Amino acid sequence: MRQNPRNIFAWRNKGMYYYMQGDKTSALKYLGDALERNPELPLAREYYEKALEL
């Protein structure tokens, strides 16, 4: 993400990582940022909704 802050897949993947670690706050932040940049990003919405349930 430092190399290319516009890489929305990196934001999504980092959010998914935090979701899997049980870190709701970080997961929602990174997944939300990815969804702001592209609301149709595959898996981002699904994991965002899952993170809300943590």
Cβ-contact 28, 44 below 8 angstroms: no
Model pLDDT for residues 19-33, shown as the tens digit of each residue: 999 999 999 999 999
Q: What is the pLDDT of residue 1?
A: 61
Q: What is the pLDDT of residue 13?
A: 97
Residue 2 pLDDT more than 90?
no
Q: Exposed (0-12), middle (13-18) or buried (19+): which is 44, by Cβ within 10 Å?
A: buried
Cβ-contact 11, 48 below 8 angstroms: no
Q: What is the mean pLDDT of residues 37-54?
A: 97
User: What is the model's pTM?
Assistant: 0.91
Per the model's pLDDT, the better-predicted residue between 42 and 2 turns out to be 42
Rounded distance between C-alpha atoms, residue 46 and residue 48, angstroms: 5
Q: How sure is the predictor about 52, in pLDDT bands with cuts at 50, 70 and 90?
A: very high
